[in-house]
Amino acid sequence: MISPEDYVVIQVEGQGLDAGQRVLELTRPLAMAGISIFFKTTYFSDYILVPLKARSSVVTALEQRGFTFSVDVSAFMHQSQLSPPPSSHRNHRHSPSSSQSSGTLGECSFHQHSSHRTPPSTPPAANVHELQTRTFTRLRKNNITPEADRSIQLISCAGRKEETPDNLSKLKDDLLQCLISTCTCPSSKNAEVENIPENCTRFLSLTLTDVDPISLFIESRFVNPPSDAACSASPSTFHTLKSLPNLVLGSRDQPDDTLIPIILDLRELPLEATGIVCGVAATLSRDTAINTSEGQPDAVEISFLSTAKAGTVLVKENDLSKALGAMETGFSMAVKEMEQKDGGPTT
């Protein structure tokens, strides 16, 4: 699939906001303005891809929500970043190794340009609640349900900012091997996990920019390979990728940071569909925090990856059940709304 649209890439620094809140704060003003976006979380920054023709509208919407363009880092920053973030924040973007990351806004600027963007066929939602309801109603009408597979365990990692040419070449070779091995995966959704070759890459998200090192979400088994004895007994990609663990930054030694993808198959929706990212993020942020009390964790932290055919929510393994429960609540809310409009129960 090749989009007829040209897109502008906007980088947004998110220090001072937790992961889930950052996704929501970035996408809400754009969804409310009826702007279609792609959203991508990376190790260093968040990126929003927006249609070129909507560029000035995006800038205005972000500014109205407290984001300011910073000349120092060539990116949008939230007002909460004007003062140093609390030391208790654990996001790797606050660490000395990554706090200097920067990016470009493509051709994005603060100058107002005339826009001939075609108004959306459906008026934008009036508030976040309406946006949530619309999102899950649309998903339900298209039989789109979240799919999660606990056997796919991911970590967020990235190349080092200062790397030798030799190590950079090794990293590229390892990642190329991962990309090639995706071709061997069974195409059927119902394929048994046991029948999938161990050298098959089941999930890989790779981001390349001109200002930051390679950033990726990759299966933890490739960065935390089995013991030498296990590898000797079963030669595989683990041998091929043996240098990868030493070439990337990331939380590979923190089991609690293992991520599970929740995938929404969006092939039945038009590419210009709006509000999906925000609707899902708002539901996860709100419904997983409703029962928060003393001794209980806050709303689940999420990362989001948008593509032309799918929306993927990444949550920590310990938060998976809570996240799926929140999404089920979103679908239930949509059903009630549909029943009220139709005057009867919805099957």
Q: Which stretches within the chain are classed as H helix?
A: 19-32, 55-64, 128-141, 165-181, 220-223, 228-233, 237-240, 276-287, 320-342
Per-residue pLDDT tens digits for 270-325 = 988 899 999 999 998 876 655 444 445 567 888 999 998 899 999 999 999 999 99
Return the DSSP state at 77: E
Q: Which residue has the higher pLDDT, 252 or 24?
A: 24
Overall pTM > 0.85: no
Q: Which of 28-42, 180-194, 290-304 has the lowest mean pLDDT?
A: 180-194
pLDDT in the model for residue 179: 76
Write phi, then psi, for 126 (nearest 5 degrees). -80, -25
- CATH 3.30.70.260 residue window(s) in the chain: 125-153+258-347
Give the length of the chain: 347
The label of the residue with tokens 């200097």 reads 100
Domain 125-153+258-347 indexed as CATH 3.30.70.1290: no
Q: CA 142 to CA 45: how far, in whole Å?
A: 32
pLDDT in the model for residue 247: 74
pLDDT in the model for residue 17: 58
Write down the CATH number for the domain with range 1-110. Answer: 3.30.70
pLDDT in the model for residue 199: 66
Write phi, then psi, for 234 (nearest 5 degrees). -140, 80
Q: Which of 199-208, 211-220, 275-284 has the highest mean pLDDT?
A: 275-284
Q: Which residue has the higher pLDDT, 29 or 93?
A: 29
Q: Which H or E run includes 51?
A: strand 46-51
